[in-house]
């Protein structure tokens, strides 16, 4: 099933990119492995899925240990608490969910202690939804400026989760994120990434400029949440 699903997802990514004259190779597919067993994650990697994303720190560490024999680019895509930053920095290629200056500064401090630099994305509440995490659109430029000036981290772009169930609202959110990214690039051309789009809306996200899509269900199928687990908010 995973092989067929991956083929189908990649075909949809290619088609969406081609519709707007983009090169599909510009788009990174991150397979979301929340509530996915280790063997399913292993199968996806052996089929060529190089990037995996986890929502929870403990699950990230567990899967990294189990798949240590494979070449995987790990992403932290879920809520990151400041007291767990030290367990993540240096273990992932990208943290998608920096949603405040204090969190970014903590990432920088912890990374500097390891004599390294951590790539991060600023999470934006592009749909301005009360239930979502992220910096409101009005605060993005000021927050990005502070993160760009912080030591120990490198701001690579923006991330958002669009309103679910309404394609037109999702498109507006994705377009707003792209416009914010472009405004930041006037000062910092290196800020290029747009992590946006999940199973429900990744094709719209690609049409609006996504460089990273976070997809779980369309690759791994529906998963039964673990006891006590909260619903995923960063990739599906």
Is 142:79 a contact under the CB 8 Å cutoff? no
Q: How far is CA 108 from each of CA 45, 81, 97, rounded to the nearest angstrom?
A: 30, 14, 14
- DSSP code, position 192: -
- Name 202's Cβ contacts closer than 8 Å, sequence gap at least 6: 12, 13, 16, 210, 213, 215, 218
Classified as helix, coil or strand, 218 is helix
**Ranges of each domain in the chain:** 2-220
pLDDT tens-digit series, residues 100-110: 999 999 999 99
**Residue 43: how many CB atoms within 10 A of its CB?**
17
Given the candidates 1.10.3720.10, 3.20.20.10, 3.10.105.10, 3.20.20.60, the CATH classification of the domain at 2-220 is 3.20.20.10
pLDDT tens-digit series, residues 68-105: 999 999 999 999 999 999 999 999 999 999 999 999 99
Residue 148's pLDDT band, with cuts at 50, 70 and 90, is: very high
Instruction: Measure the CA–CA gap between 158 and 98, rounded to whole angstroms.
Output: 9
pLDDT tens-digit series, residues 168-202: 999 999 999 999 999 999 999 999 999 999 999 99
**DSSP for 4-25, written as a single string:** HHHHHHHHHHHHHHHHTT--GG
Instruction: Measure the CA–CA gap between 32 and 220, rounded to whole angstroms.
Output: 9
Spatial CA neighbour of 122 closest among 174, 199, 191, 214: 191
Out of 164-168, 180-184, 208-212, least confident range: 164-168
Instruction: Measure the CA–CA gap between 142 and 102, rounded to whole angstroms.
Output: 13
Spatial CA neighbour of 233 closest among 163, 155, 176: 163
| Cα 125 to chain centroid, rounded | 14
- Name 159's Cβ contacts closer than 8 Å, sequence gap at least 6: 77, 96, 97, 121, 122, 123, 124, 134, 194, 195, 196, 212, 234
Residue 231's pLDDT band, with cuts at 50, 70 and 90, is: very low
Instruction: Measure the CA–CA gap between 80 and 103, rounded to whole angstroms.
Output: 8
Q: Residue 137, by phi and psi: left (phi above 0), alpha (psi -120 to 50) or beta?
A: alpha
Instruction: Measure the CA–CA gap between 11 and 133, rounded to whole angstroms.
Output: 31
pTM, rounded to two decimals:
0.93
């Amino acid at each position: 099933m995973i092989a067929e699903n991956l083929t189908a997802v990649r075909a949809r990514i290619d088609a969406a990119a081609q519709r707007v004259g983009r090169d599909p190779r510009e788009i990174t597919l991150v397979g979301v492995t929340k509530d996915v067993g280790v063997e399913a994650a292993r199968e996806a990697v052996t089929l060529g899925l190089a990037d995996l994303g986890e929502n929870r720190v403990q699950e990230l560490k567990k899967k990294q240990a189990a798949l240590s024999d494979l070449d995987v680019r790990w992403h932290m895509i879920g809520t990151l608490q400041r007291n767990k930053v030290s367990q993540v920095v240096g273990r992932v290629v990208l943290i998608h969910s920096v949603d405040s200056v204090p969190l970014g500064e903590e990432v920088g401090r912890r990374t500097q202690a390891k004599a390294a630099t951590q790539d991060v994305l600023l999470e934006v509440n592009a749909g301005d939804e009360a239930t979502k995490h992220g910096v409101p659109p009005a605060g993005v430029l000021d927050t990005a400026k502070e993160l760009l000036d912080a030591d120990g981290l490198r701001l690579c772009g923006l991330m958002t989760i669009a309103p679910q169930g309404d394609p037109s609202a999702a498109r507006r959110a994705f377009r707003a994120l792209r416009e914010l990214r472009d405004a930041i690039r006037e000062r910092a051309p290196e800020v290029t990434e747009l992590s946006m789009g999940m199973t429900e809306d990744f094709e719209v996200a690609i049409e609006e400029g996504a460089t990273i899509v976070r997809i779980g269900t369309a690759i791994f199928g529906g998963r039964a949440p673990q006891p006590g687990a909260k619903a995923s908010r960063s990739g599906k």
